[in-house]
């Protein structure tokens, strides 16, 4: 029977950084599956709500297995209870397998794939991470990227709000307990200076440069982007990397607000595919000075492995309540 997993059921799993390794591995496997030709389809849309917010939805189906539906508010201010929902569906019948509260997990939709990219695309012995942003995405990126940067020594933070970035720094110092040096930069250029990995985890408009001055990024660094935020680095010779050029077929795409309009174009010819790097088919860099922009801004099939990971961990721990709304 279907399983209902509430936020309180999942609070322990959501708080455990060690458990994120399983989610990272699951998304990495899904990237290689998609690249190998496993057919996937997706619908990614947003509709206006009466109060001025926008209801975003993504449906993903895999020819080889399950399907998922994810529902979330697009313009979020403050707490939004009972608004983050994931459904895991039987891929053959469409029957509901599990109904999952995603309050604490929706951010993994980008922070986990970001970590997969850092695991394989970061410079050798990377030790300095810069996080641009101080909201939920930024906090989640710190948690996941730490799992794949074993040599991490220094974590630098910057966001436009001094108050927000200062509070973020204080929170991280308390959380990390001296394991990593945490500093809060006064300027964006100061934050990225000398960084091995930079993640643009703030709220950027599509195409807005995360680092306006590309000269401030050291040669050989990795920039993780979710919104085309590394275009000016690409113009100066950085190499574009994508998870795989075999993205799910877009059945419907677009947001009423214009937050996202046209479907993303196919990956440019010559883009480095993370799936090929994972498989050992290509080298990440030809020189230690090769800068890479890892772009996540396209619909992928990541909801499927993330929801499956949540359900599997819930089963191991005996979490949730079974229900039957057709019985």
Q: What is the pLDDT of residue 264?
A: 79
The answer to whether residues 67 and 86 touch, using CB atoms and an 8 Å cutoff, is: no
Q: Is 96 helix (H, G, I), strand (E, B) or coil?
A: strand
Given CATH 3.40.50.720, say whether it is the number of domain 108-246+264-295.
yes
**SS3 call for 137:** helix
Full DSSP string of 219-277: TT-EEEESSSTTHHHHHTTPEEEES-S-PPEEEEEEETTSSS-SPPPPPPTTPEEHHHH
**3-106+302-322 CATH pick, 3.90.226.10, 3.30.1490.190, 3.40.50.10420, 3.30.1780.10:** 3.30.1780.10
Q: For the residues of 142-210, what is the DSSP string, one character each?
A: HHHHHHH-TT--EEEEE-S-HHHHHHHHHHHHHHHTTSSEEEE-SSHHHHHTT-SEEEE-S---TT--S
Q: In this predicted structure, what is the pLDDT of residue 268?
A: 86
Token couple for 169: 């720094």
List beta partners, residue 157: 131, 184
Per-residue pLDDT of the chain (327 residues; tens, 9 = 90+): 999 999 999 999 999 999 999 999 999 999 999 999 999 999 999 999 998 889 999 999 998 889 999 999 988 777 889 999 999 999 999 999 999 999 999 999 999 999 999 999 999 999 999 999 999 999 999 999 999 999 999 999 999 999 999 999 999 999 998 899 999 999 999 999 999 999 999 878 787 899 999 999 999 999 999 988 999 999 999 999 999 999 999 999 998 888 777 777 788 888 999 999 999 999 999 999 999 999 998 899 999 999 999 999 999 999 999 999 998
* CA distance linking residue 223 with residue 198, whole number of Å: 5
Q: Model-level pTM?
A: 0.96
Q: How far is CA 50 from the centre of its chain?
A: 29
Question: 3-state SS of the chain: helix, strand, coil percent to 5?
Answer: 30, 25, 45
Q: pLDDT at position 318, please?
A: 97
Instruction: Identify the pLDDT of residue 327.
Output: 86
Task: Report whether 111 contacts 137 (CB < 8 A).
Answer: yes
N residues, the chain: 327
Contact of 272 with 242, CB cutoff 8 Å:
yes
The kind and range of the H/E element at 106 are: none
Which residue, chain included where needed, has tokens 């599990």? 98
DSSP 3-state of 61: strand
Judge whether 320 and 3 are in contact, CB under 8 Å.
yes
Domain locations along the chain:
3-106+302-322, 108-246+264-295
Torsion (CA) 155, 160, 164, 168 in degrees, nearest 10 = -10
pLDDT of residue 141: 98
d(CA 323, CA 327): 9
């Amino acid at each position: 029977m279907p399983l209902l997993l509430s936020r309180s059921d999942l609070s322990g799993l959501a708080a455990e950084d060690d458990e994120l390794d399983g989610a990272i591995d699951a998304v990495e496997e899904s990237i290689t599956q998609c690249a190998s030709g496993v057919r996937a389809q997706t619908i990614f849309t947003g509709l206006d709500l009466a109060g001025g917010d926008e209801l975003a939805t993504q449906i993903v189906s895999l020819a080889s297995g399950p399907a998922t539906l994810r529902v979330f508010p697009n313009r979020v201010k403050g707490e939004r209870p009972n608004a983050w929902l994931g459904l895991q569906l039987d891929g053959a019948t469409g029957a509901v397998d599990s109904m999952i509260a995603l309050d604490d997990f929706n951010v993994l939709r980008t922070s986990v794939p970001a970590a997969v990219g850092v695991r394989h695309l970061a410079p050798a012995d990377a030790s300095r991470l810069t996080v641009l942003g101080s909201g939920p995405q930024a906090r989640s990126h710190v948690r996941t990227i730490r799992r794949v940067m074993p040599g991490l020594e220094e974590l630098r933070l910057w966001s436009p709000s001094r108050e927000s970035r200062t509070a973020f720094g204080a929170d991280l110092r308390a959380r990390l307990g001296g394991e990593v040096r945490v500093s809060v930069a006064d300027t964006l250029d100061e934050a990225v200076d000398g960084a091995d990995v930079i993640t643009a985890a703030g709220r950027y408009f599509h195409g807005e440069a995360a680092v306006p001055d590309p000269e401030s990024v050291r040669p050989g660094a990795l920039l993780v982007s979710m919104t085309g935020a590394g275009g000016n680095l690409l113009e100066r010779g950085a190499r574009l990397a994508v998870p795989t050029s075999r993205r799910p077929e877009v059945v419907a795409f677009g947001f009423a607000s214009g937050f996202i309009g046209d479907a993303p174009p196919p990956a440019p010819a010559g883009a480095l595919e993370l799936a090929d790097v994972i498989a050992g088919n290509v080298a990440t860099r030809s020189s230690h000075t090769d800068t890479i922009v890892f772009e996540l801004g396209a619909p992928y099939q990541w909801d499927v492995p993330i929801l499956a990971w949540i359900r599997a961990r819930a089963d191991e721990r005996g979490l949730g309540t079974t229900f039957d709304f057709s019985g």
